[in-house]
């Protein structure tokens, strides 16, 4: 009976443990010492996928942190502009000078969805000539640029996640194929040396490892920290 298929949800640590067990069993049996060399590249298969996963996790962390920092500083810039403008209009929130910039209290304005808030501020910067805005323009332009870049980077992480997941699938498929090949060699040797039908099975772990979900998931976020990175 061939060894079980390695699932693409296997953790890297468990994939390595599968390999270590097989290598140790090959070393322990007097009829298989010469087969140890056939596993020489197995760990590199895991290493490649692990490196891709680590790159994915770092990219997601960088993107999430960049977006959070940019959002906070953007809110600060909007709040400072709004507070000064509110005083400039005599705290009259119905004045046209106010409403052409804010349709709600500043505290509520900075809580709207980030993309919508960005669009509103870009509108001010392209259309408004208010003297208060002029004093805050540099900061607003700086952080609108940072927010725009952060939102674009967030969308781009989908590509990184996809690449990392393909790497895990490739790892699982490659290890499964390698283990199947070794099993066939062991089965042939068992027939040649009358070692029994069950003998090839002892070189593979019987208990499957833990599973873990795909990277990121909806809404972004860092993939599980269990063992992949």
Full pLDDT tens readout for the chain, 229 residues: 789 899 999 999 999 999 999 999 999 999 999 999 999 999 999 999 999 999 999 999 999 999 999 999 999 999 999 999 999 999 999 999 999 999 999 999 999 999 999 999 999 999 999 999 999 999 999 999 999 999 999 989 999 999 999 999 999 999 999 999 999 999 999 999 999 999 999 999 987 655 444 444 433 444 444 444 3
Complete DSSP assignment for the chain: -PPPPPPTTB-HHHHHHHHHHHHHHHHHSTT-GGGGGGGTTHHHHHHHHHHHHHHHHHHHHHHHHHHHHHHHHHHHHHHHHHHHHHHHTTT-TTSHHHHTT-SS-HHHHTTS-HHHHHHHHHHHHHH---HHHHHHHHHHHHHHHHHHHHHHHHHHHHHHHHHHHHHHHHHHHHHHHHHHHHHHHHHHHHHHHT--TTGGGGGS-SS---B-PPSS-TT--PPP-SS--
Instruction: Determine the pLDDT at residue 2.
Output: 82
| pTM, 2 dp | 0.74
Instruction: Determine the pLDDT at residue 209.
Output: 54
Instruction: Determine the pLDDT at residue 50.
Output: 96
């Amino acid at each position: 009976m061939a060894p079980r298929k390695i699932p693409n949800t296997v953790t890297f640590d468990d994939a390595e443990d599968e390999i270590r067990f097989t290598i140790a069993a090959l070393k322990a049996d007097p009829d298989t010492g010469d087969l140890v060399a056939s596993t020489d590249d197995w760990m590199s298969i895991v290493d490649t996928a692990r490196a891709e996963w680590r790159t994915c996790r770092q990219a997601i962390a960088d993107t999430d942190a960049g977006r959070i920092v940019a959002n906070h500083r953007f809110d600060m810039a909007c709040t400072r502009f709004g507070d000064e403008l509110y005083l400039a209009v005599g705290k009259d929130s119905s004045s046209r000078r106010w409403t052409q910039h804010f349709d709600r209290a500043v505290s509520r304005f900075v809580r709207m969805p980030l993309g919508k808030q960005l669009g509103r501020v870009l509108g001010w910067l392209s259309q408004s000539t208010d003297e208060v805005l002029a004093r805050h323009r540099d900061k607003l332009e700086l952080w609108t640029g940072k927010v725009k870049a952060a939102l674009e980077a967030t969308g781009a992480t989908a590509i990184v996640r996809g690449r990392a997941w393909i790497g895990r699938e490739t790892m699982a498929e490659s290890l499964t194929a390698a283990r199947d090949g070794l099993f066939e060699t062991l089965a042939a040797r068992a027939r040649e040396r009358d070692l029994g039908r069950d003998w090839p099975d002892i070189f593979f772990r019987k208990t499957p490892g833990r599973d873990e979900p795909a990277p990121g998931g909806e809404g972004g976020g860092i993939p599980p920290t269990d063992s992949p990175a």
